[in-house]
Amino acid sequence: MVHGEAAGCCGPVETTAPISVTINPEARVNAARTGNRVASLSSGEWHTIGFPIVNTGYVTGRLVIDAGPVPGLELDLPMHELSGLPRQDGEFRVRFGVPTTVDLTLTFRALDSLGGLALHSTLHLILRSHLTPIPTP
């Protein structure tokens, strides 16, 4: 697939993101790690982690990201409205209070209102933070 084309239903996902999310026609979600890593992030700043959402079933509705509390990490996990397009962008934000390494467990759910028909997909993402350098005058 050429960068910039709409994603087809069955082709590989080309991305520089650390994760990708695929939704099939039954609204089952498959969240997977890619071969890309998240670089060390500076403490005290919000960082956006983007990911592609490949919608092979042209599903519309909500995609929700859940995570339990992680000491030393603030999360901003917005709800995404699935447009029905074959591919759209998703993202969430993280902010570290102090330099540390954490194992962030994320669960993706589509069409929460369908209850048992939506398959939950969970993955682990290792994130590291470092001290923000003090600017020199």
Burial (CB < 10 A; 0-12, 13-18, 19+), residue 48, is exposed
State the DSSP string of 55-74.
ETT--EEEEEEE---BTTEE
What pLDDT was estimated at residue 5? 40
DSSP-derived 3-state class of residue 137: coil
pLDDT score at 132: 72
- pLDDT at position 55 is 95
Residue 50 belongs to domain spanning: 19-130
Residue 41 and residue 100: Cα distance in Å, rounded? 10
* pLDDT computed for residue 120 by the predictor: 57
Distances, alpha carbon 113 to alpha carbons 32, 46, 74, 105, 109, in Å: 23, 31, 27, 22, 10
pLDDT given for residue 62 in this prediction = 93
What does the pLDDT profile of the chain (137 residues) look like in tens digits? 333 344 444 445 789 999 999 998 888 899 999 999 999 999 999 999 999 999 999 999 999 999 999 999 999 999 999 999 999 999 999 999 999 999 999 999 988 644 444 445 899 999 999 987 656 56
- Number of structural domains the chain divides into: 1
Q: With contact defined as beta carbons under 8 Å apart, do 128 and 40 qualify?
A: yes
CATH number of residue 71's parent domain: 2.60.40.10
Count Cα neighbours of 122 within 13 Å in the Cβ-side half-sphere.
6
